[in-house]
Structure 1
Amino acid sequence: MLTDVTATRYITPLREGGSLPGLIEADDLGTYVLKFTGAGQGRKTLVAEVLCGELARRLGFRVPRLVTAEVDPVLALAEPDQEVQALLRSSGGTNLGMEFLSGALGFDPSAFDVDPREAGRVIWFDALVNNVDRSWRNPNLLRWHGDLWLIDHGATLIWHHNWPGAEASAARPYDASEHALRTFAPDVAAAAADLAPLVTEDLLAEVTAAIPDVWLDGEPGFAAPDDLRRAYARPLLSRAADVHRRVTGIEEVR
């Protein structure tokens, strides 16, 4: 389970994010980037953030700490921005917070170097979860204290938008031709040898258990949240075995 905090103050919107995340203070005195259930992408974005973020953490990647953040719509009363007011009012209850990494720099492929092993591990992970939002245009990577950190996994697991077609969608190749790390000679095969054996039923059960029931309730075709958790785990378990063979778009830079 994720640690639960309560938002005590909305600081400012982060307008570079398409879903208008915001910076908040919480009752544990921490500062978090908050992603809202009331945003246009809805709760499935938050499910993907938790599943992929916690899976990445257990596979050895650096990911900001995730928390569930309770939001009282009364916070909207102090906000002059009408768009923010509407977002806060529509997001009462459980939202997602990501620890704010103060002083972190956005990753620039032309300014930072990444060794082939790390590049391969990131591309393998993105192939596993089908991350379509780690391009050179929008890397969703941070450089903090000299290390590479992974952020923003809402645009992953695209099969959960159409469960009847999930198996076929999860079997498709992964196009890495515009990936932010494709020019660093990524060793995806070595990454698969290291990481694929770690993706087990037990690990996926642990990771999916971190998703709050409230974000899973009411999904058409599923009687209970645990049924949906198992549906999330199945494509990842099968994909881990051989997705490295279906990564395209990096052959020319190997």
Structure 2
Amino acid sequence: MRILILIFSLLFINQSTTEKEFEGELIYHHNMKMNSKNYSKSRNFYDTLTISYKDKNYIKLTNKKEYEKILFIDSLKKIYVIYKDNLSKSKKLSMNEDNLNFGKLYNRENSHFGKIVSLSKSDTILNLDKKDCELKKLFVEREYGNETYVYSESNDFKLTDNRNILRNIGEQIHPEQIASELQNSILYYYKLKVKNADLYEEYRLVKIKNKVFESSIFEIPEHKDAKGYKRENKKQSRFKYYELTE
């Protein structure tokens, strides 16, 4: 009995030491179509998404014509969207604060596409950085849409939490059925298709960069109440509005 316990403990220790928490950049190609129109080519959308990730915190930066940067800070349970406000007379960058403590939004699965109907898993190959990778594909059928996840079962690098960071906040947390398959894996490909509609959105990983970040990159930039929102910002509401002063 002691021998079996020892063997189990060694296997557990070996698995734990081979899994590494990912820190670095994930660069995705983004594509979205609706009614046969490719929105990723529109100046209001984007075709490249760069995610800087460390200890559950992340920064999402797109290459859209209008500047947009999304900063998520796990310890505060808040997300900040920094953007160019064309209505602002000062022409400085504006920032919205989204308080995820409001209405217990943080860490809940709240998909607009309904409950899971079925899951199916298969092998697949995806080309990353001119190399063919043997990966797993998880197809999820929901009531109002379908999701496709492509990921690696290897223990090389894992995210530190159970999230699909490609999705909008409030729809990021994986339900238990999906989480048990993905196990915090980096997504190599993700597609969401709406049922009975010519509408889908997809992300394809094009590069993984392991980097060490200074914690300062996740600091909230200096800001002040945006003109016209000072009174609203004093209230304990979900959203607040600022102007950057840096």
Where on the TM-score scale, by shorter chain, does this alignment land: which range? under 0.3
- Give the TM-score taking structure 2 as reference length: 0.26
Name the structure where strand makes up a greater proportion of residues: 2
TM-score w.r.t. the length of structure 1 is 0.26
